[in-house]
Each structure stands twice: as structure tokens, then as C-alpha cells.
Structure 1
């Protein structure tokens, strides 16, 4: 079924007659339609790019763009770490731009097939429509945050796609929000469709991503409302930091399963060091920002000493290799919702309530509570404290630090002050791959600075 929804590697040619999905073939019955949808998640994890947590994923590449990693790789990913990307970067083109649009194309193909089907069970058709719209919103979210203006691709018609123009971020967010609002109405409340595992998005996943989107688009009242939905649900923070990234995590909202035969996540395989690093280690700057007594420093950071040098590495995922698979790749989790609501409340002047949310995270980390040590903290200082807490909570996850610095307007201040920094303000956006521009001049103008 994965082959049935596979599209060609160049998004501008996606949907040409030789690669179009035959919806009548894919969607003859519930099982075939469901397999097509699950096929997208399988594609995501079988790759090393975009959503996989692998070497060329959003997690690793945008993580390098921030200040939490030290880079040791000398391949094309080193340009992300130096903030000196060029428009011919192979990782940027193949694993971020093209791969993101491939999943959007697959989601569009499923939506078109569902709309034409007259043989599916209504509840299955509704669920799959919600999932496809969620996946499209998820991919558009990362593409718009990494590249700025991007094409909105909502069809499999290659004649339309190959001439798509870049749209404003506002237009892209409008579709993201519309897709997620639809998903909330269409998806189930529980995880029954995935056998109780959190490996297919449900209504809570749509609310979680929507809360983040509203925070990014400065709609703080709605961000607070959506995050409250999650916080007041049956999902909860894990008490133990060691259990957060297990496949059975009570904190998980949406996880992805590693490829068949895998006994660990790609994150665990890459990050956990058994010798000197060849890809990344954690930066001294990150390590120096852990407060004394922060349990995340002892539970989520590993150390290895080689030839007298100590390297710190992400240890959120505990398994580099094993005989059984006990961890899934975490995409959305409850802790983010507390910090989204904390920031949204602080921005609305609800400082005591904002402190309650940040304290939920600090309490689990074994840190003093803000309500006790900073009862009179002002809004600006509280927002900086929330930014700090987000960094310590989400390092090595989905490029949160990179996106946070960009959306708060502090990326130049922070990265430009680093020793030997070659930072320019135009580095805030990745360049549109040159190959895509050559195939479709409607993608011009290129982002400034490239």
C-alpha cells in the first residue's frame, strides 16, 4: 500500500500521470484506505529525513541550526550548524523540502480518493479524512517555519503543482488552522483506531498542534484554550523522566513507530555515544544553562569520556540497540502544552496562572517553584524564564530551540553573539532549493541573502 501512495521525488513533478494514485484501487474498502494512510507514517519513519528523527531529519538539521549542539559532521549537514546554507544543499532539497511536499502530496491523494469513494464505512472515511488533513497541516507547519513563504499544494494535479507560487506565511497558516480545525471535528477522542497506542493522530493531537500554531501566530487566547483541552484530558505528565519517551508513555500525544525490524528509535541510535562523536554532542552553552539540581541534566544527558575529553549527549531515548522495541519516536507530548499555556497566559498578563504551568514542569525536574522564589516576577522576566524552560525541556526534539529563537525575534541576538559566529539576519530562513526554482520560476524571489 505504501507503493500506491508513493510519489516521485521532485515535488514539482508530483502527480504526473505516471505517478498519480488510482483512488478506485486504493479505496475499494476500509482496509485498503486505512493501509494507505498508515503508509504515510511508515514512509516518514523509513526515511532518514523530515519526520524520522534520522541524520537528515528536521530534528537533527534544525537542531544544528540552533545553539544546543556541537557539530562534528563534515557533510552537507555542516552548513546547517554554521548557518551558512547554500541553495544547492542536498539535505535541504531532498530531505526537507521534497520530502515534506511528498507527504503533503500523499495526504492530498488520500483526501481525493476518500472524496470519490462510495464504498467506505462513514466512520472510517471520517477518521482518515481527519488524519490526512492533520498530516498536511503538520508538514506545512514545518515548511513554513523553515522557509517562510512556500507553495500551498492542495491537489495531486501535476499541472497545477508544477506552477505553484509561494504564498505568504499568513496564507499558509490559514490553511494549517483550517485543516486542524477540521481534524478536531473528524478525529476520534481516543486511540482505538491504533489499538490503544498513540501512533495515529486523534482529536487531542489536532488540538496540541493547533495550540502551538496559535502560539506562533500570536493568538494567545486560543492557544490557552487549546492547550487547556490537553491539560484537562486523560493524558498526563509522566512522573519519572525516564519514562517520558517509552512507547507506553502517559505523556505522549502522538508518536511514530520505528521501521519494521528496528529495536530502537533513530534518535537513540544517533544520539547515544559509545565513542567520540561523529555527528553531534550537546553544547557547553546548553549544559551551562541547567540549574543546580535539575533532574533533566542527570536523566536526559549522558556522558562519555574518550582520550581525556568528556562529551555530553542527549539521553532522552535510552536505547541505542536492543532485542525488543520499547521506545517510539515522540512527536507531540503533554509537557509542551503546559509551556504553551504558560507563555500564552503570560502574554495576556495572567502571571500567577502562567507560573502555575511553568511550575508543573519545574516540579517534575526537581527544581524550586517560581511561586516560591519569584512571586513578584514581571511579565518580561517570566517570558524569558519560559523560553529557558522550553530550551531545557525540549533540547534535541524537533528543532524547538531553533524555532523558538526565530519566532521570538531573539535568534540574531543569541546566535550572533557566539564566538566565530558568521550569523547574518537573513540566515533566519533556509533558502528555497535552487533545483526547485529552476523547475518552477514561480518560486522566485529567493529568500533574502541567498
Structure 2
């Protein structure tokens, strides 16, 4: 028992610091197999550190930041957003990913399941604790459920049917097989529905780096959109959009991705005095070693679209022009000051969610109101009028592509959920594209470790 408690103390110290790697985390000798003892959640500070440690890890190099192993980059390559300049990324660009691919196993899978494990342990600790104030307990329970929900949202959209782990008991988790997408989404909705009642309306810090009630509602609106529950997607997005004292679209596109932007619903604060991983990775100062934007996206923007000039930049080596995402404009800190935070959820997406949900319900005039707000902010001053449902949905898809490019795999997920992946990507990818590429392979290490987990179709 003493050894287990020592491991639990080590666990809390590790997650509080945020300085753990996936490999180290998975190699703890004595996995936690019982609810976290109440004494380890003896006060607000220790309990809070369990959650804030997750955010620090998310903001560092990995699946949730903007570096070469991130959802934004890998999904951008799998779709038509980014072009590969590195053999280490070609598998994603050519949709020929091997189950042994390290970026799949170490980052997209293991790292995300680590976040889920920590939230499960935190929820268990909060339930048994008597030393935490009620307001802190409610906030942390809401944040833990929010983090678990967003983690499963990305797992189910990257891999499809995956194990649904809701326990810290390794004897249960190591035997869990694939759960249906319906079951996983039901848990996501449950977690977010509970989170929106638990979380405070105001942010608990002066910055927007810990989720509040509106972040839970925003993510829930996205989930309802993916589930094609149009009325609920419209309702939840509207609840956030209506918080005009807290959130607003910014007229100046240069200010959207600044820390504490009025458009930010949830951001990740960079760690260790650096700027965002997106700014470091995407901004080209030499011939690209990893990715660039394919030039054929440029004609998709109208001539007056400010997003083309403000959010895309160019590096020339003297003979070839290379384009890159320029939403994050700072590569290194200036006098130690960090001016940009990684944007996870922002208001513009909510307008696009509501526009799509309204259009799907035949409310095209209302959908156009939302679309015209996005277009006007982009410098497209002529409002759209009189579009039918099909035309309206086509414009939604266009604006999602141009507004959300290089952010969090939106394009890749949109192509899949609207069943356009094959028609759009097969002509671009050529004979390497096949329908089964819409899901990434379950990591080979996971298949070997847990024989109850089955591989996705199309992968040996």
C-alpha cells in the first residue's frame, strides 16, 4: 500500500509540473489501480495542478500544439491544406500511413490517452476528497470532463472506434476493446453537458487558458454538428454567440490570434517562455523543411479577401515562392514577451456552425446572416442574398475552408463528415488514395499490447 501511495504522489508531482513524456508516463512501474486517495487532493492548489499540468503539456510539442506531430499539421497533410517537404511526413501527405508510424503511436494516440487517464484520476480524487472547496471542486470536475471530451472527440475523428477508458484501473483499461462511435459520442455529449453546468461563466484566470461554461457549450455545438443534430448545434452555438460582452469577431485580422483575443473561447498558453508552436513551425525563414501551403489554394480566395493577405505569407528562395500559414506571426519572443497564444476554439467557428445548422434546417436567410458576418470581417463587403439551401451549404463549406485552414484538422474532418473525402482527395492523391484512408491506423504497439483492440480496415 505504501508503494502505491508513493507512486500516486509521484503521479501528482509529474502532472503538476507538466514535465512528463508519453514514454516516461507509460513506464511507471506500479500503475494506479484504485481511486486516488483523498489525501493527495488535500487542498485546492494540488487538485488544480492536476488539470493545469495537462494544459502545459498540450501547449508543448505534441498532438495538441502546432508542431510537426500535431493534429493541425498531420491532418492538414492528409487533406489538401498542406504540402510535405519531408520524407518523415510523406506518409500523411500520400495517405500511406503505417501502423508503426511513431507520430501516430506516441502523440496522437498515447499522448491523448494520457490526458484521458489524468482526467479519470482527477475525477476519482475529487470524488473522494474532503479538503477542496466546493467551488474549486465543481470547476475542476467541469474542466476534467471538458478535457476528456475534447480528447475523445479527436480520437474518434482520427481513428474511429477506439477504447473508451473511464477508469484508472489498468486491469480494466488494458483489456478494453474498440467501442462504437455512437458510444464514444454519447460519452462526449454526457461529459460536455455536465461540464457546462459545472463550469463558471467567467474565466477563473485573467486569461482565457482554462475552459469556462461557454467553452463547453462551444465544443458541444461542434459535436452536435458532427452528429447532424442541427437544432441543438444551432442552439448551443447561439448561446455562445449571444455573449457579446465577452466574445466578438475582430475587424483586424492581425489581432485574432493574440493572447486573450475577444474572439478566443479557449487558448493554450505557450510554455517555457517560448511563443506558440504554430508560430515557430509554420513561419518560413528558409526553404521549407517540413510543410508549405499548396499554391492552388490561393485562387479559392476572392481578390478582396483579407485572409489571403493577412493569414498567408510567402518565402522566396530566389526561384520558387513558398506559401505558409501566417495566422501566428511571431517565431521568437521579443524581450521575453509572449503576444500570441494557441487558439483551440474561437468565435468564428461558432458562426459557421450555426450557419451550417440553419442551412440544413432550411433557414437559409438566417444562415446567410451568419455567413455574411464572416465574409464582411474578411473584407468581402457585398453580402450574399437569395441563395438556396444547396448554394448556402456550398458557401458554408467554402468559408470553413478559408477561415479555419491550418487549424486543428477542421478541413480533414469536414471532408470526412460531409462524405467528400474521396471526391476531393482521390484526384489530388492519385492511386495512393483509398476509402479506408479516411481513418488513421490504430498504433501497432496498441494492437500488440491489447489483443482486444482491432485494427482499422485497410491496414495490415
> In structure 1, how many angstroms separate the alpha carbons of the residues matched to 2:404 and 2:273?
28
Task: Give the counterpart of 2:369 among 344, 348, 356.
Answer: 356
Q: How does 1:371-390 map to 2 (within 5 A)?
A: 371=384, 375-390=385-400
Instruction: Check 1:18–1:443 CA distance in 2 against 1; reply closer, same or farther (3 A cut).
Output: closer
Deviation at 1:381, TM superposition (A): 1.7
Report what 1:271 is aligned to: 282
CA contact (8 A) 2:73 2:82 kept: no
Structure 1's consecutive aligned runs of 4 or more residues displaced over 2 angstroms after TM superposition are 4-26, 368-371, 445-450
CA distance in structure 2 between the partners assigned to 1:356 and 1:65 by the alignment: 32
The aligned counterpart of 2:355 is 342
Q: C-alpha distance in 1, partners of 2:127/2:27? A: 20
TM-score by length of 2: 0.92
The C-alpha deviation readout for 1:100-149, integer Å capped at 9, x for no partner, is 10000011010000001011100000000000000000000000001000
Deviation of 1:449 (Å): 4.4
Give 1:384 deviation, angstroms. Answer: 1.2
Which residue is 2:102 aligned to?
90
1:151 alignment partner, SS class: coil
Q: Where does the alignment leave 5 or more consecutive residues of structure 2 unmatched?
A: 1-11
SS of equivalent to 1:180: helix
Asked whether 1:392 is paired with 2:402, we answer: yes
Confirm or deny: 8 A CA contact 1:427 1:449 kept in the other structure.
no
Deviation (angstroms), 1:420: 3.9
**Alpha carbons 1:15, 1:157 under 8 Å: kept:** no
Residue 146 of structure 2 is matched in structure 1 by 134
CA distance in 1: counterparts of 2:110 and 2:24, whole angstroms:
6
Which residue, 45, 70, 83 being the options, matches 1:31?
A: 45
Query: Paired residue for 2:265?
Result: 253
Q: Distance in 1 between matches of 2:177 and 2:25?
A: 11
Say if 1:12 and 1:158, in contact at 8 Å, map to a contact too: no
The number of residue pairs the alignment matches comes to 442
For residues 12 and 250 of structure 1, do their structure 2 counterparts lie closer, same or farther at Cα, with a shift above 3 Å needed? Answer: closer
Q: Please say if residues 211 and 340 of structure 1, whose CA atoms lie closer than 8 Å, have aligned partners that are also in contact.
A: yes
2:310 aligns with one of 296, 299, 305: 299
Partner of residue 58 from structure 2, selected from 37, 41, 44:
44
Name the TM-score, length of structure 1 as normaliser.
Answer: 0.94
Please report the RMSD computed on the Cα atoms of aligned residues, expressed in angstroms.
1.9
Cα distance in 2, alignment partners of residues 203 and 17 from structure 1: 36
Q: Report how far residue 10 of structure 1 moved.
A: 6.7
> Would the aligned equivalents of 1:258 and 1:265 in 2 still touch at CA under 8 Å?
yes
Match of 1:174 in 2: 186
Q: 2:253 aligns with which of 235, 241, 245?
A: 241
Which consecutive unaligned segments of at least 5 residues does structure 1 have? none
Take 2:443 and 2:24, find their aligned partners in 1: how far apart are those partners? 12
